[in-house]
Amino acid sequence: MLFRFAILGFAVAAAFTSQPDPLAAQEVVDCIVARVENDIILLSDVRALSRYQQFLDGKSESDDQILNRLIDQWIVRTEADASHSPRPSEADIDHAVNRVRNSFASGQEYEERKKQAGLTDQDVRAMAASQLYLSNYLDSRFRSSVQIDPKAVEDFYQSAVLPRAKARGQEPPTLDAARDSIQDALIEKGINQQADQWLKESRQRLHIEKFLDAGAK
């Protein structure tokens, strides 16, 4: 799910727009940084997504990179809404929030980074819900069309699993033991590739205007 998280793990900027960004407020109240069809993306959306990236990784991308992610998110969200994609259940959101929490070395680090980013527990839950909604849509749209050749599983085992175990000084799993996890990884890779191509083609069909440089000054 690496690609989907690369795009959609940060697909929750709108969840933060109700909370002011003190740094952004000192620079500019707010402004439009992009138009996608008849919708707009605000500088506050970019700032909010930057805060979430800081929370997850301790750093954030450039404003232009973040804006591109927001445009991709708009595309996925619009398609998901149009297809009446189901919203994640409360149990699924709980599980996603726990995954986020467990990605930190400790509960203390999680709380400290959340505080530094200016996020609340409600923000994190909103992030998880949005993330799941968009990621689930991509999965439902592309998974059925991904076919994995058994030879690809064996090649991945030889080129990735064995060298990684050797580098870590660990005993590698057998091919049979690793087969299911390898197949899952290859399916995710296939979904990622198809989603990437779909997003590129979708961008070409849409009317997109970007004003970030002017708005950020």
Q: Does residue 23 lie in a domain region?
A: yes
Q: Does residue 174 lie in a domain region?
A: no
Q: Does residue 58 lie in a domain region?
A: yes
Distance CA 101, CA 104 (A): 6
CATH code of 137's domain: 1.10.4030
Q: Among the residues of the chain, which ranges form H helices?
A: 2-8, 22-27, 43-57, 63-82, 90-102, 107-117, 121-142, 150-156, 162-167, 175-205, 212-216
- Per-residue pLDDT for 73 more than 70? yes
pLDDT tens per residue, range 113-149: 999 999 999 988 998 899 899 999 999 999 999 999 9
pLDDT, mean of residues 33-57: 93
- Per-residue pLDDT for 9 more than 50? no
Domains in the chain, number: 1
Its pTM stands at 0.78
Compute, in degrees rounded to 10, the torsion defined by CA atoms 137, 140, 145, 151. Answer: 100
Q: Does residue 168 lie in a domain region?
A: no
Domain span holding position 66: 2-148+203-216
- Would you state the pLDDT for residue 30? 87
Angle at CA of residue 75, ends 207 and 217, nearest 5°: 65
- Per-residue pLDDT for 174 more than 60? yes
Mean residue pLDDT across the chain: 86
